[in-house]
Structure 1
Amino acid sequence: MTTTSITILGLGPGSFNDLTLQARALLAQAAQDKQTVYFRTIIHPTVEVLRSELPTLHIESFDQLYDTSADWTTLYSQIAEEVCTLAAQQPIIYAVPGHPLMGESSVQLVLKLARSRQLSTRIVAGLSFLEPVCTALELDPFDAGTQIIDATSLATLDTSEVAGKIIPTTPLLVTQVYNRRLASAVKLSLGELYPDEWPVKLVRAAGVGSDEMIIESQLYELDRQNYANHLSTLYVPPLDELAALRLPETLRYITMRLRRDPDGCPWDRQQTHQSLMRYVLEETYEVVEALEENDMEKLAEELGDLLLQVYLHAEVARQEGDFTLGDVLEHINAKLIRRHPHVFGDVEVSNADQVNQNWEAIKRQERAKAGKDVKNESILDGVPPASPALMVSQEYQKRVVRQGFAFATIDGIYAKLAEELEEIRQASTQAELQEEIGDLFFVISELARWHKVDAEAALRQANHKFRLRFKSMEKVAREEGRQLTSYSREEWIALWQQAKH
């Protein structure tokens, strides 16, 4: 019979009466054999009873690591390392609160590390924390779709990751909120999704007779009182769908409601892809404006307006049976993964130029797979002709330069500028003027590309600067009680110089 290297034993939620017969027998045998039992923590009511019931049981714990570890991930990694190191020398018992596979991050790390070191493991089940906690809360976790997350896992999430892990419109149980410091970290993480004043319940010592407590508070108060201990679980009730304002799913729900017949919005229900087209452009330019003004608060708002357009078009398409928001997300996620093999695969690159080369090669493969005639396509294909003209011009020039079609020196560009200006002077018809001025713009965009300047952005910046200066001149005119048309040329020049400063 093969000897198990690591036996992981569940102590139950807190009451000694909840310790399973199998666990009791195993602990009694360990006491008889004078085998040391390693507890993740001895701050557990069952351990106190074991000391009196099995006085010969040799108990060791990892409680000292709670005060010395830099963070919770490090803490459980250290416990897993010590457990596996001990098990490599002789079989050991590792005892944890509750059920070993219910909300026990340390156990998952032990199992993973044990597999990598060819150490056999065995799970001795215990009553989990879930039964007494749900009993105390009168909560059916399956009916409500309750989420469960370990406090240490939640606390180590970056704020940008919280929304991807927690669905605030379903009940949430946060396990092992064992001290004030961890309660504070949990509060900050949950604050990404829930209002500060959201009511929460801290369930302490669930199922342990008179020790059981339910402390009700608001989320922001979670760490203000020292109620958390090793038997604490936080219950967070669900938000209403319209209250979960930081969730992408809420925006999907709102757009669906707006277009729902007959109780949606009459205006939104009338919209089509074609009628919404202008708003996509409008919101895009408002995003650009916020960027150019470096107004981050405005940018956040405008990005939301632009995102709404994506959701609206997806909802229109869903109602017409064309595609869904899921299709939109699948397309972009798959594309990003596919086109970044140096991030999500095993391709190696050393600079951005190689990334661009790979990107174009992958796009070509995609077009070929889609049945397009890639052998006869132009390198200029794929640039949306409806894009801003300067942007299209620079993109064309970037592409042909990669093929070697370029001015040898910048002097050649300046010479070409002079040539185009002269051709404008000599143009005799409106059609010739339009053509030559277009050529001039094309050369100017190449000059900008040479200097690594975005021609479109540069012109927008010039427009913005002109607008500010002219508005300053208008202000002066109002202060002087004059009409703009009353100024002489000399006065205009003076006003302009004043506005520049």
Structure 2
Amino acid sequence: MNSRQTQLKAFDRLLTIMDELRAQCPWDKKQTMQSLRHLTIEETYELGDAILDNDLEEVKKELGDVLLHIVFYAKIGSETDDFDIADVCNDICEKLINRHPHIYGDVEVKGEADVKRNWENIKLREGKKSVLEGVPKGLPALVKANRIQEKVTGVGFDWEKPEQVWEKLQEELQEFEAEVTERDSGKMEAEFGDVLFSLVNYARFLNIDPENALERTNKKFIGRFQYLEEKAKELGKPLGDMTLAEMDVFWEEAKGVGRGQ
């Protein structure tokens, strides 16, 4: 691994290049925080994909893209004298020190649960009106459900055992099934939401990240379906002309050859 001096030199090089691009490149000159926002979200998802694929070379590249965006926002902030990269770094340093009194103070903790609980209580003392205030409104619903549950757990609002969550999930499934029987679309949607929320909660108790789990299944399905498409093309037969039984043969074959794993 590189020395701290080498790391700082590399970061200084990035800051210098950002200054040069902002001053000389027509595209970089035009960018604003608003114009960069959707690109930042895209880069974050690409980083997430690389992590799921366990492609460390790609993770390194995508981290660079995300870091560039952080430096870019700080550069824009410096142009209006609101903040610069030093302010960004110092603010997060102060936050980390304040929220880790078991490291930088005299607070004792027994484990991860105590750390999370302290973290949420400290945020409330800092002026947060709600434990849930820090959950971004724009998060995808599945990720948001997981974060909501993690947040309230930090202040002790949680089930005690996984078995209790499983029982709650079964209860929600029965309520959903009852509404399906009645065919009331509004109530079905509401109960289905409760099922998903409970399922996310159960996944959390089993230390499963629901977003990662679902995305892995998405990738697996895509890989197997594309194998099916390839085989249909080799036969010169459109998928629409194949029976479900014919397609299922290639679907099972895809599993055997490891497609979509």
Identify the TM-score tier after normalising by the shorter chain: 0.7 to 0.9
Give the TM-score, by structure 1 length. 0.47
More strand by share: 1
What residue is the counterpart of 1:428 in the other structure? 184
1:465-490 CA-partner distances (Å, limit 9, x unpaired): 11111121122122223322221121
- CA change 1:334–1:378 in 2 (3 A) is closer
SS in 1 for 2:82: coil
What is the correspondence of 1:4-403 to structure 2 with a 5 Å cutoff?
A: 159-163=2-6, 167=9, 247-260=10-23, 264-367=24-127, 377-401=129-153, 402-403=155-156
Q: Which amino acid aligns with 1:494?
A: V
SS in 2 for 1:359: helix
- State the Cα distance separating 1:306 from its structure 2 match: 0.8
Contact 1:417 1:443 in 2 (8 A): no
Contact 2:124 2:131 in 1 (8 A): no
- State the Cα distance separating 1:350 from its structure 2 match: 2.8
Give the TM-score, by structure 2 length. 0.86
1:245-276 CA-partner distances (Å, limit 9, x unpaired): xx01111111111111xxx1111111111111
Which structure's CA Rg is the greater one?
A: 1
SS in 2 for 1:159: coil
- State the Cα distance separating 1:425 from its structure 2 match: 4.2
- Work out the CA distance in 2 between the residues paired with 1:406 and 1:289: 32
- CA change 1:323–1:333 in 2 (3 A) is same
- CA change 1:451–1:424 in 2 (3 A) is farther
What residue is the counterpart of 2:259 in the other structure? none
Structure 2 unaligned regions, length at least 5: 257-261
> Which segments of structure 1 move beyond 6 Å, counting only runs of 4 or more?
none
- Work out the CA distance in 1 between the residues paired with 2:87 and 2:192: 44
- CA change 1:465–1:164 in 2 (3 A) is closer
What residue is the counterpart of 2:211 in the other structure? 456
Contact 1:380 1:399 in 2 (8 A): yes
Structure 1 unaligned regions, length at least 5: 1-157, 168-246, 368-373
What residue is the counterpart of 1:231 in the other structure? none
- Work out the CA distance in 2 between the residues paired with 1:437 and 1:303: 36
Contact 2:132 2:148 in 1 (8 A): yes
Provide the aligned length of Structure 1 versus Structure 2: 252
- Work out the CA distance in 2 between the residues paired with 1:400 and 1:329: 28
- Work out the CA distance in 1 between the residues paired with 2:157 and 2:30: 51
1:6-61 CA-partner distances (Å, limit 9, x unpaired): xxxxxxxxxxxxxxxxxxxxxxxxxxxxxxxxxxxxxxxxxxxxxxxxxxxxxxxx
- Work out the CA distance in 1 between the residues paired with 2:203 and 2:178: 20
- Work out the CA distance in 2 between the residues paired with 1:293 and 1:164: 26
What residue is the counterpart of 1:65 in the other structure? none
Contact 1:417 1:444 in 2 (8 A): no
Q: Which amino acid aligns with 1:354?
A: D
1:83-132 CA-partner distances (Å, limit 9, x unpaired): xxxxxxxxxxxxxxxxxxxxxxxxxxxxxxxxxxxxxxxxxxxxxxxxxx
- CA change 1:360–1:399 in 2 (3 A) is closer
- CA change 1:425–1:274 in 2 (3 A) is farther
- Work out the CA distance in 1 between the residues paired with 2:78 and 2:201: 43
- Work out the CA distance in 2 between the residues paired with 1:449 and 1:422: 26
- Work out the CA distance in 2 between the residues paired with 1:488 and 1:472: 16
- Work out the CA distance in 2 between the residues paired with 1:362 and 1:435: 34
